[in-house]
Amino acid sequence: MENDVKTTLKETGFGFKKSLGQNFITDKNLLEAIVADAGVAKDDVVVEIGCGAGTLTRAIAARAKKVIGFEIDRSLKPVLERTLSGVNNAEIIFKDFLKADLSDIEAETGEYSVVANLPYYVTTPLISKILEEGKLCKSLTVMVQEEVAQRFCAAANTPEYGAITAIIALYASAKIVRFVPREAFTPRPNVDSAVVRLTVEKSRLPVSDGALYKKVVHAAFLSRRKTLANNLMRAFGYSRAQAEGILTSCGIDPMARGETLSPGDFALLANKISKP
C-alpha cells in the first residue's frame, strides 16, 4: 500500500471492516488501468459504488467531468476528505447504494457510466439494481471476484453458465478486461479478482416481457439435474404435455437441461410462453 494512503488510514484511526468487503487498491498503475479499461473521457459522469479510501475516486476524477461516489461507511469520511482534498469534481454520498433511488441519481447525472471495485458480498444485487432499474447507465466496469467474472461472461453449456449469465445478457454484453491477483489489495482477500466490462445495450434480445424472461431463466436453473420440461412444469404449473409442447414448438429438446440454452433460446421460450 502506498505510504500516503497508509498514513492517512493510520492517522484517522480507520479500522478495516471485512463485513463491508473493504479491500482497497492503492497501486497507481492499476487504478489508472481500471479507469482506462472503462474508457472514461473528459465529458463523462461516473458513478462509483464503494469509494473506500478514495484512491479509485481520485483516479476517475482526473479523467472524468464528475464522479458521484457512494460509500456506506461513514467512518471513511475523514479519510476521503484527505484523499480527495483539491479534487473539485467528486461528490461523495454516504449511503448504502442498494437503498439509493436511481431515478434521483439519474436526474443529476444524465447519461453515466459505473466504475467500481465492488464490495464482493453484494456484487450481484448491486449490478442487478443498475441493470434493472437504471435507464441512463451506458456501461459498468467493475472489479469482482474472478469466478464471478467468469460466470458473468460464460458461454452456454459450460459449468460457469447460470441464471446470472442469462439475466445479464438481457441488458448488456459482458467481457473480462483484466485479471487482478489478490496481492493487489489491502488487506489481501482470499480470492483473485477480475475487471469486467458490461456494455449496456437496450433491446439486446427480442424479449416482449423482461420479467417473464427472468422467470423462465430462474425456472430453467431451478434444478440443474432436471430436464427443462420438468423445471417448467414445476415453475409454471404446466402438465408434461404442455411443457413439452411449448419447448418443441421453440425447437428445444424437452429433455435438454437449462444450461444448454443460450440467452437467445430463453428469449424465444419466454416469448412463446407469453403468447402461446
Contacts to ligand SAM by CB under 6 A? 20-25, 49-53, 55-56, 70-73, 96-98, 117, 119, 122
Chain centroid, CA 12 distance in Å: 31
Question: Using an 8 Å Cβ cutoff, are 12 and 156 in contact?
Answer: no
Q: Which is nearer to ligand SAM, 22 or 231 (CB)?
A: 22
- In sign, the C-alpha dihedral spanning 196, 124, 63, 102 is positive
Shortest distance, position 97 Cβ to ligand SAM, whole Å: 4
Residues in the chain: 276
Shortest distance, position 173 Cβ to ligand SAM, whole Å: 24
Q: Which is nearer to ligand SAM, 97 or 221 (CB)?
A: 97
Shortest distance, position 21 Cβ to ligand SAM, whole Å: 5
Question: Which is nearest to 41 in space by CA: 112, 93, 116, 105?
Answer: 112
Q: Could you give the CA distance from residue 141 to residue 129 in angstroms, rounded to a whole number?
A: 15
Which residue of the chain is nearest ligand SAM when measured via CB?
50
**CA distances to 47, 68, 99, 171, 239 from 105, in Å:** 9, 9, 12, 20, 46
Residue owning grid cell 475516486:
57
Q: Could you give the CA distance from residue 65 to residue 35 in angstroms, rounded to a whole number?
A: 13
Q: Which is nearer to ligand SAM, 102 or 219 (CB)?
A: 102
Beta carbons within 10 angstroms of residue 275's beta carbon: 7
Shortest distance, position 219 Cβ to ligand SAM, whole Å: 29
Shortest distance, position 216 Cβ to ligand SAM, whole Å: 29
Q: Which is nearer to ligand SAM, 119 or 263 (CB)?
A: 119
Q: Which is nearer to ligand SAM, 72 or 207 (CB)?
A: 72
